[in-house]
Amino acid sequence: MSGVTVERTVRLYLGEHSRAATTHTNLSAVRADGPVLWVAGDETATIERLVADDRDPTTAEPREYTEETSFRLADLVPLPGADADEEADIEGLARSGPFLWAIGSHSLRRKQIKAHHTGPKPLKRLARVEGQDNRQVLIRLPIADIDGIPSPVPSMLTETGPHHAAILSGPDNLRAELADDPHLAPFLAIPGKDNGLDIEGIAVHGERVYLGLRGPVLRGWAIVLELRPYTNPDEPQRLRLRPFEDGRRYRKHVLALGGLGIRDMCPDGDDLLLLAGPSMDLDGPVRVYRWHHAARAAAPQVVRGDQLHRELDLPYGEGDDHAEGIALVGPPEHRRLLVVYDSPAPPRLPDDGAVLADLVKLP
């Protein structure tokens, strides 16, 4: 395990609309994709694309990402919420093959007590738990190269056939699949910030889709779900889950992450890098682990010992600077880990309107 070495910061410039929606201070997901950076906030139903100032794939040393374009998810897939712009709470992004993937938290939320609430109102609010349909989604978007820039499209034709934007939602969503799970079913009615179900990371390797759970953490064990989504041939805008050998449509792995939950995931060859932090509303600790050979798992895994390596510890603040997303950037011989933060501390918000992310050297 190594302490963090922040080589430098990278400036992310989000546009006026995203800043008004506080996306820049609520970054929840990030993924590098050649000359662009995909980011998402947890208060909208959009995905944002930023373009690097250095687009040379042989050097790839961006100092800033600008030219934000916002993509409304409801323009690409049929979101389940009655209000298409209701927040989707996108907590993870993944890029694999011709697709960009996005995962909603699938969590419930408890109303907060605010400073101006007095009398009986605080306790009444604290008793209110609600869900939002747009949070219960897994989305797959085809990515086309338009003028050298990756761009999501509703559909496209490739050498392997047509690809359509598609979604797993509604009666077939993942919460429904977990309704009788012996480990996770008891946590479905619990809000995410109370150690209930809360998906915060996604990584894709071939046909394997891995989902990292911030919660629940069970007796110190974090959980990763593995899926095999495919397109419903009768409804190309709908995803379905292929069953595994035991008949369930997901596979469950448990990991010894020192009592922490998973805040993001990032593939590195056959390995998975895991951003780990508290499942509850706490500041830290925050660590990056490597799950060796995760993409080769042929059965549910109990991941511990030599299968896991604690790569580094990340800094965190008191009430701010919560690491929420990681992405590998740069050419293979000079890759760095880009880290974005929720609730950034004031020094991460310079006067020019940027928000600062960290470039971290892996050991």
Domain range annotation of the chain = 2-360
- Per the CB < 8 A criterion, the answer to whether 289 and 311 are in contact is yes
Sequence-distant contacts of 229-237: CB under 8 A, at least 24 apart? 229/138, 229/140, 229/168, 231/164, 231/166, 232/166, 236/155, 236/162, 236/164, 236/166, 237/77, 237/78, 237/164, 237/165, 237/166, 237/167
Task: With beta carbons less than 8 A apart as the criterion, state whether 277 and 284 touch.
Answer: yes
Helix (H, G, I), strand (E, B) or coil at 315: coil
Helices (H), the chain: 16-20, 121-126, 174-177
User: pTM score, two decimals?
Assistant: 0.95
Give pLDDT tens digits along the chain (363 positions). Answer: 556 778 899 999 999 999 999 999 999 999 999 999 999 998 899 999 999 998 776 666 889 999 999 999 999 999 999 898 899 999 999 999 999 999 999 999 998 888 888 888 889 888 898 989 999 999 999 999 999 999 999 999 888 889 999 999 988 899 999 999 999 999 999 999 999 999 999 999 999 999 999 999 999 999 999 999 999 889 999 999 999 999 999 999 999 999 999 999 999 999 999 999 999 888 889 999 999 999 999 999 999 999 999 999 999 999 999 999 999 998 877 889 999 999 999 999 999 999 999 999 988
Fold for the domain defined by 2-360: Neuraminidase (2.120.10)
